[in-house]
Structure 1
Amino acid sequence: MSTIGHSLLRAQPPIKALFVYNSNPLAIAPQSAEVERGLARDDLFTVVHDLFQTDTADYADLLLPATSHMEQLDIHKSYGHLHLQVNQPAIAPLGEALPNTELFRRLARQMGFSETCFADSDEDLCCQAFDWSDPRLAGLSWERLKAEGHARLNLPPGEAPFAEGGFPTPSGKCEFFSEMLAGAGLDPLPTFIEPHEWRQSPLAAQFPLALITPPARNFLNTSFANSPRFLAQEKSPALHIHPVDAAARGIANDSPLRIHNHRGEFRARAVVSDRIRPGVAMATSIWWRKLSPDGRNCNQVTSQALTEMGGGATFYDCLVEVELG
């Protein structure tokens, strides 16, 4: 996903078909001008499976309706707590909407896959997601979870992960010197790795502000970013900038801004605030492009460069200049 624009334009052999589900890559992927050019290829067949006509769905050759959580069986693991939850469908799927799993089953049949896994029902898949031999699931079963809706993991009160060690390292300890990293040819000690773009980059002479793009208060990536209620609360794309940087550029609160670098540009209104460090600009994200005033969002300027370790995205290695416009 971090290099989907590059892949759609330059992969060899070329990508001829794209199936998009649970995602909106045109809005969320970095350097979105390249993503747009890739999706616009005449020789690319694109299928999008979604509840909404997202920015990406506008480029679909075939748009398939997906179910919501109200219409499908699912399981939810914890975010910072010790409970598991079963999501039972409240209503039957509306119209021709299907969950991902049923669509995959039908595609597998049409494509001639005969492995038994492609006949697994949603309930089969939910049950298979658990390692029932794990002591933390002692006393639990799929039947009990279904009946009760949720259950706490079998852990004593006050239990804290890794309080007694047990890290997934050769020593079982939190290692400051990592033999695993050394074996992979990486620095075994915590060290500073220069960002691809930062204040000491030659590029900073032309683009002196470091741009960060955390989610807007009312959005979750691009989820909820098409809700009229939340759009009204966010008002419009905003760029937060320190008073010192704003004064140097003649910027006041609510000034229309052009944020740009060598990859692209987008527009936002100014929020002048000393909550932002000098030398840093913060753009609230992620706006659907077609719901933004200029049809772009902050990922016009972010980079497809990857991290040295893990090959992750480098959204915050991004230098820009900001001006009235």
Structure 2
Amino acid sequence: MPMFSVCMRDCYDTCSMVSELKNGRLRVKGNQEHPITAGFLCPKGALLPKWFHSKDRLRKPLIRTGEKGSGKFKKASWKEAIDLVARKLRDVIERHGSESVLVYQYAGDRGVVNYAFPLRLFHYLNTAMLDYGICDRAGQEALKDVYGTAVGLDPEELKNQRLIVYWGINAFWTNLHGFMLARRKGLEIWTVDVVRTETAKRSDRFFQIRPDTDVLLALGVAKVIIKEELYDRAFVRENVYGFEEFKNYVKTLSLDYVSKETGLSVEEIETFAREYAEKRGVIHIGYGFQRSLAGGEAVRAIAMLPAIVGRRFGFIYDMKTIDKSYAEGVFLRTKPAKRIPQMKLAEYIEKGEVKFLYVYNSNPLASLPNQRRLRRALLESDVFVVTHDIFLTDTALYSDIVLPANTFFERLDIADSYYHRYVALNEPVAKLHGKSNSEVTRLLARALGIKNPYLYENDEEVIRKILELNGLSWEELRRKGFIKVSKRPRKWETPSGKIEFSSQRAVERGLSLFPRYRRFSGKYPLRLLTPTYRMTITSQYHNTYGMIDPHLYISPADAKERAIKEGDEVEVFNDHGKVRTRAKVSEDVPRGVVLLYKAFWVSLLGWNVNFLTADETVQNYGNASAYHSTWVDVKKV
């Protein structure tokens, strides 16, 4: 019997699907009724049955018998494993305090219950929690500086637009349904990026800029629009705080300087400004480019452009569709949480502040920077590591106990999207292996002797409560498979109640009154960019789909300077580490920049780009990551 499913991956699209089991094999297809995901799946989604039926899925709990990372485990019963986790957890809390326990999770699975419910146990125990910074934290903070919120335009409103600018996002790979929606609605498509991506190749216009110069381009575009009086005077007068000061700020900016730094001609910058103002374009602000030391300032500058041309929320960034806080259960805490910056995990382990690490929905030994330091910290400390996952990931290999997880095809859940405004239902289609995050949470609570009823609510009870709190109907969701969240009142939650070009919130955090351009450089000559690959989502699917691209992409000029030819074996290195791979000489990558795709499994490939990235470097915008502010050199082997 066909069931409603929703792809739980950390992806904009959050596709609604129809799934069923036929002759013991899973079949999936896109839900044709869904207005955004429109009945087709991306290449990763089409291969979900291969992932679901993988022979490598964990079936039994594992207890480590050899050294961490050795892969030596013994199989155990669920009772034995859960009892051991509970004993160790109780012992660590008694000896070192609850703040020595850290739950590490992220969006490897975005099901509301599967993502949030386990946090109830750790809130109840008053453990340390993560201060998330790995993804879009810089952009969130920057948009709050300007608008007081990061919630942008409903993509269904694209039908009324003429132009969309993909700024720092390879949407054809990472937001395929959004890209096709823009095409179907007849929008003109522009791309701003450092690399000539697949999106850039399919765009009507491509503006290729140098790394870190996004902020300067945005300020230059603003200067032209203001100077030529192309801005919406009435809108700005009524709704923008600090415009006159901003006008004077950009007046001092030389377009020749903007041209020199960005690599665009003055004519290209002026054309961008005039046509963007005339078409009042929507800007889809990407996540990837903000993961650099210039990221927060760039988003802040870009976010001002829609307001200049009279758009209330003329950007696409994040929907924050529903309030999911009930699932997490912060109300179970009896004291404030100690927050450990996500990017500083190795440092806190080294300092002895983390003695028990519980990992789910994440693979930090693939996704975090400075992997050599993190792995050394785990080996040299007495931290006890528990990982709950579908597969024996790199993180699982460094764990003391590994608990088998199930997939979203095996449990009830719901998921919202950070691109569109729909919540989708996920019904269990079949059961193969493992237990859900909520099941394991209840088992651990019981093993710890906890009586609190909030730790034993079943999945449907949690889902019903969340829907009720958000004014949504469980019955309608069960009937249709998805439901749209009604539009919320749109207001600017800033101190002034307006769009703040001169941001009071930014100044209070020690930032400049207006976005500021800074040049960055490193000890090594080449800037390393580490985007996601089309067939993976961070580290997911590397082990099941087998389709990765391990090449180093390098410009012809940089390759020639190093006597490197297409296919040569090369070593990429800096003070953090080195990796060996083969070169692909490409005009898509500008001089001074090299590219390696991120977060492949070391246990399968032998290396990971995060042996080169730095963890000591974070942004002033919420301790956000700065992966793309990594410098390396390359030599032929």
Class of the TM-score when normalised by the shorter of the 2 chains: 0.7 to 0.9
Structure 2 gaps, min length 5: 1-341
1:287 to 583, 591, 600: 600
Match of 2:364 in 1: 25
Write the mapping of 1:7-156 to structure 2, written as runs, cut at 5 A.
Answer: 7-8=348-349, 10-13=350-353, 15-41=354-380, 43-92=382-431, 94-95=432-433, 97-130=434-467, 132=469, 137=471, 140-155=472-487
2:619 to 291, 304, 307: 307
AA partner of residue 249 (structure 1): R
Alpha-carbon deviation of 1:267? 1.6
Indicate conservation of the 8 Å contact 1:241/1:282, yes or no.
yes
- Answer yes or no: is 1:296 the counterpart of 2:607: yes
Alpha-carbon deviation of 1:79? 4.0
Note the alpha carbon deviations across 1:216-244, whole angstroms, 9 max, x for none: 121110011112xx42x43x511111100
Indicate conservation of the 8 Å contact 1:219/1:285, yes or no.
no
Note the alpha carbon deviations across 1:40-78, whole angstroms, 9 max, x for none: 236232111100111111112111100101111111112
Structure 1 residues 70 and 245, CA, compared in 2 at 3 Å: closer, same or farther? same
Match of 2:494 in 1: 169
Rounded Cα–Cα distance in structure 1 between residues aligned with 2:601 and 2:413: 27
Secondary structure at the aligned position of 1:281 is classed as strand
Secondary structure at the aligned position of 2:362 is classed as coil
- Answer yes or no: is 1:179 the counterpart of 2:490: no
Note the alpha carbon deviations across 1:124-157, whole angstroms, 9 max, x for none: 222333464x5xx4xx3123212322122335xx
With the length of structure 1 as denominator, give the TM-score of the two structures: 0.84
Indicate conservation of the 8 Å contact 1:219/1:286, yes or no.
no
Note the alpha carbon deviations across 1:292-319, whole angstroms, 9 max, x for none: 1xx2210001011211120011101100
Secondary structure at the aligned position of 2:499 is classed as coil
AA partner of residue 322 (structure 1): V
AA partner of residue 622 (structure 2): G
Alpha-carbon deviation of 1:2? 1.3
Note the alpha carbon deviations across 1:271-312, whole angstroms, 9 max, x for none: 1111111101110122111111xx221000101121112001
Structure 1 residues 245 and 81, CA, compared in 2 at 3 Å: closer, same or farther? same
With the length of structure 2 as denominator, give the TM-score of the two structures: 0.44
Match of 2:344 in 1: 3
AA partner of residue 67 (structure 1): N
Write the mapping of 1:127-276 to structure 2, written as runs, cut at 5 A.
Answer: 127-130=464-467, 132=469, 137=471, 140-155=472-487, 166-193=491-518, 198-199=520-521, 201=522, 203=523, 207-227=524-544, 230-231=545-546, 233-234=547-548, 236-276=549-589
Alpha-carbon deviation of 1:11? 2.2
Alpha-carbon deviation of 1:87? 0.5
Alpha-carbon deviation of 1:177? 0.9
Indicate conservation of the 8 Å contact 1:209/1:320, yes or no.
yes
Indicate conservation of the 8 Å contact 2:352/2:381, yes or no.
no
AA partner of residue 151 (structure 1): I
Indicate conservation of the 8 Å contact 2:467/2:473, yes or no.
no
Runs (4+) of structure 1 exceeding 4 A deviation are none
Match of 1:158 in 2: none
Rounded Cα–Cα distance in structure 2 between residues aligned with 1:113 and 1:173: 48
Match of 2:255 in 1: none
Rounded Cα–Cα distance in structure 1 between residues aligned with 2:618 and 2:604: 29
Alpha-carbon deviation of 1:212? 0.6
AA partner of residue 27 (structure 1): A
Structure 1 residues 142 and 185, CA, compared in 2 at 3 Å: closer, same or farther? same
Rounded Cα–Cα distance in structure 2 between residues aligned with 1:23 and 1:50: 8
Q: How many residues are matched?
A: 295
AA partner of residue 5 (structure 1): A
Secondary structure at the aligned position of 1:244 is classed as helix
Indicate conservation of the 8 Å contact 1:216/1:286, yes or no.
no
Rounded Cα–Cα distance in structure 2 between residues aligned with 1:320 and 1:247: 17
Indicate conservation of the 8 Å contact 1:213/1:284, yes or no.
yes
Rounded Cα–Cα distance in structure 1 between residues aligned with 2:497 and 2:466: 26
Indicate conservation of the 8 Å contact 2:557/2:591, yes or no.
yes
Rounded Cα–Cα distance in structure 1 between residues aligned with 2:396 and 2:352: 25
Structure 1 residues 129 and 34, CA, compared in 2 at 3 Å: closer, same or farther? farther
Rounded Cα–Cα distance in structure 1 between residues aligned with 2:530 and 2:504: 34
Rounded Cα–Cα distance in structure 2 between residues aligned with 1:317 and 1:50: 30
AA partner of residue 357 (structure 2): L
Rounded Cα–Cα distance in structure 1 between residues aligned with 2:467 and 2:500: 29
Rounded Cα–Cα distance in structure 1 between residues aligned with 2:618 and 2:387: 26
Note the alpha carbon deviations across 1:137-188, whole angstroms, 9 max, x for none: 4xx3123212322122335xxxxx99xx613323343211111222333323
Structure 1 residues 224 and 103, CA, compared in 2 at 3 Å: closer, same or farther? same
Indicate conservation of the 8 Å contact 1:27/1:297, yes or no.
yes
Rounded Cα–Cα distance in structure 1 between residues aligned with 2:620 and 2:508: 15
AA partner of residue 371 (structure 2): S
Task: Looking at secondary structure, tell me which structure has more helix per residue.
Answer: 2
Structure 1 gaps, min length 5: 156-160
Rounded Cα–Cα distance in structure 2 between residues aligned with 1:272 and 1:144: 53
Indicate conservation of the 8 Å contact 1:215/1:285, yes or no.
yes
AA partner of residue 635 (structure 2): E
Alpha-carbon deviation of 1:193? 4.8
AA partner of residue 376 (structure 2): R
Secondary structure at the aligned position of 2:623 is classed as coil
Indicate conservation of the 8 Å contact 1:210/1:317, yes or no.
yes
RMSD (CA atoms): 2.0
Match of 2:147 in 1: none
Rounded Cα–Cα distance in structure 1 between residues aligned with 2:541 and 2:588: 26
